Amino acid sequence: MNELLDKAQDWMKTHGIEFAFHVVAALAILIVGRWIDRLVRNLLEGVLHRRRVEPTITTFVGNLAFIALVMFIIVAALGQLGIQTSSFIAVIGAAGLAIGLALQGSLSNFASGFLLILFQPFKKNDYIAGAGVEGKVDEIQVFCTVLTTSDNKQVIVPNAKLTSDNIINYTAREHRMINIPLNVSFTEDSERVRGALLSVAMNEPRILKTPEPMVGLNSIADGVANYTFRVWARTSEYSAVNFDTVERVKKCFELEGISLPTTVRHIYMHEIPAGRK
C-alpha cells in the first residue's frame, strides 16, 4: 500500500500540473460549448421562424442541431482529458448508420415533409391531386399529409409519395378555365351556335370578361359538329359556375331551337370532382 501511495505522489508531482490544465480546458470546452450550442440553436430556429417554416419542423431541426453540437463538445472535452475518442466516434457512427437503415422509410417521409413545408407547393385548404388521390389539404405533418376527399373521406398520404409524383394544385391560381365540349347537329349554322354560347357567357355575371369567352369548332364527323366552349371564372366559384353554365347552355339551345345530333343528345360537362372549389 505504501508503495502505491509513493507512486501516486510521484505521478502527481510529475504530471499533476499538466493534468489539472487539461481538466480546466475540458471544463472550459463544456461551458463555452454549451453557450455556443444554445446560440446556434436560437439562431437556426429564428431563421426558420422568419421563413414561416412549420413549428414542428423548426423544433425538430433545432433539437437535432443541439444534439449534434453537444456530442461534438463531449468528444472534444474527452480528448482534452487524454481519453481516446476514435473508438467512441466509431460506435456513434455505427449506431447512426443502423438507426438510419432501420428508419429509412420514415426518414424519407420526414425529408419530403420538410421540403413540402419549406417550398410550399401547396398549403392548408388547397385542393390538390397527387399520389393517386385528391382532396382538400387539412394538415401537412412531418411524415404525412392529411387530405379530405370531395365525399368527406380522410386520406393520409406519406409525404415521400407526394414528392415523388406529380402534384396538381387546383386552387393555386386565382382564376381557372372552364372547358365545356359539346356536340351540335351538323346542319346548324356555326355562327348561330357561337352567338348563342357567347350570349350565355355575357349573361352570367360570374364568368369573367377577361380573358374573353371563346367558342371553337374542333371537328366534324358523322353529321356531328364538335364545339369547345371555354370561359374563365374565379377559382373559388369554379364548380358552381361550371354546373350553372352547362344548364344555361341547355336552356339556351332549347330557347333558340338549336338541334342536337340524333345520335348524341347531350352536352358533355368537363369532369370535376364534386365539391371542389
Distance, CA of 117 to CA of 144 (rounded, Å): 11
Give residue 139's pLDDT.
87
Type of residue at 221: A
Distance, CA of 148 to CA of 115 (rounded, Å): 22
Residue 123 half-sphere exposure, CB side, CA atoms within 13 Å?
Answer: 8
* Domains delineated in the chain: 2-102 (1.10.287.1260), 121-169 (2.30.30.60), 175-256 (3.30.70.100)
Distance, CA of 111 to CA of 118 (rounded, Å): 10
Give residue 247's pLDDT.
94
Distance, CA of 100 to CA of 167 (rounded, Å): 28
| pLDDT tens-digit series, residues 23-62 | 666 677 777 777 777 787 778 777 777 766 666 566 666 6
Q: Are the CB atoms for 126 and 171 separated by under 8 Å?
A: yes
Q: pLDDT > 70: what percent of the chain?
A: 69
Give residue 22's pLDDT.
61
Ranges assigned E (strand) in the chain = 127-130, 133-140, 144-148, 154-158, 168-169, 175-185, 214-221, 224-234
Distance, CA of 71 to CA of 73 (rounded, Å): 5
Residue 221: pLDDT over 50: yes
Distance, CA of 214 to CA of 216 (rounded, Å): 7
| Beta bridge partner(s), residue 145 | 140, 157
Give residue 249's pLDDT.
93
Residue 177: pLDDT over 80: yes
Residue of 109, 112, 110 lying closest to 121 (CA atoms): 112
3-state SS assignment for residue 103: coil
For 57-90, b/e burial (b = at least 16 CB within 10 A) is bbebbbeebbeebeeebbbebebbeeeeeeeeee
| pLDDT tens-digit series, residues 181-195 | 999 988 899 999 999
Q: How far apart are the first and last CA of the chain?
A: 88
DSSP 209-267: SSSPPEEEEEEEETTEEEEEEEEEEEGGGHHHHHHHHHHHHHHHHHHHTPPPPSS---B
Q: 104 vs 6, 96, 231, 271, CA distance in Å?
A: 57, 12, 47, 39
